[in-house]
Amino acid sequence: MNIHKISSDVTVMSDSTEVPGIGVLPVNTFVVHAEQPVVVDTGLSTSDKDFVSDLASVVDPADVRWIWITHPDRDHTGGMWRLLDAAPNARIITTFLGVGILSTEFPVPLDRVYLLNPGETLDVGDRTLRAFRPPLFDSPATTGFIESKSGAMFSSDCFGGPMQSVDIATGADWRAAGAVLDAQLLWASIDSPWVHTVDPDKYQATIDPMRALDPSAIFSTHLPPALGELDRLWEMAAMAPATPGFIGPDQAALEQLLASFAPAAETT
C-alpha cells in the first residue's frame, strides 16, 4: 500500500488488485483530517490485508469518528469490522439499503450507524460533508460526498479505470497514468452496465449538478487521485452511454486460461 498525504485535509491510502485480462485496478481508501476524522471506505477483504494497522500510520484509529462506506461491496468494507473495534467512538455512515446489505454478512450495531441520503449533509466539526449519488455506480446504496473546507469530492467507483501497472495504480496523481480514457470507459461498462440503456438527457442531468460544484480534487476508489484536469473526468462520464457494452470471457476462454496453468509435460 502506498500512502499519499495530499494536503492537510486528505490522505490517500492506495492499494490495488489485478483483474486478469483487464489490468490493475486501484483500490483507494481515504482519511479526511477533519476536526472529527473521517475514514472513507476500508479497503480489500483478502486475508493478507490489515487495514487497521495501515491506517494507524496515518491517524490513531481510536480518534476516528466517522467511517463513510460509499457502498457495501467487499472492496470497500474489508477493514470495517475491525475498525469498529479499534475506533469505539466511530459511527458508520451509509444508507438504509447499505445497512441491509451489510447485515447479510455481520450483525450491524444500529446504534453505531448514521443514515445519510443523497442531498443531506453532516457536520464533522470544522466542515460539512454533502452526500450525493455519483452519475456512475454499481450499487443502489452508493453515496459520495463533497466536503466544504477544501472542496474535495469523493466519488466512490465513478471515474475509475484499470491501470497498466501496480506503480501507476497506486500513484499520487492520475495525470501520471497518461491516456486513461479507454480504461475509464471500459470500467464504466463493467461497473455500471445500465449506463448503455439510459435516456442521454436524463443521464446528463445527473452529471451537470456535480460538475457545477467545481471540486478542487476528485478522489475515486478506483483511480489515482485526480488533482488537476478535472474536465476530462466529466467529459468521460458524459461519453459512457454511447460506448460499447462489456461482454466478459466465456467458458471456453476460462478453460484456455486454466490449461495455461497446467504443469508442462515431463520430457525424457
**How confident is residue 267, by pLDDT bands cut at 50, 70 and 90?**
low
Task: Say how far apart CA 188 and CA 25 lie, in whole Å.
Answer: 13
Task: Say how far apart CA 13 and CA 51 lie, in whole Å.
Answer: 10
Question: Which residues sit opposite 32 in a β-bridge?
Answer: 10, 38
pLDDT higher than threshold 60 for residue 173: yes
| Each residue's pLDDT tens digit, 206-248 | 999 999 999 999 999 999 999 999 999 999 999 999 999 999 9
pLDDT higher than threshold 80 for residue 266: no
Q: Which helix (H) or strand (E) holds 218?
A: strand 217-220
**Parallel, antiparallel or unpaired: strands 144-147 and 121-123:** unpaired
Specify the pLDDT at position 264: 57
| Each residue's pLDDT tens digit, 144-159 | 999 999 999 999 999 9
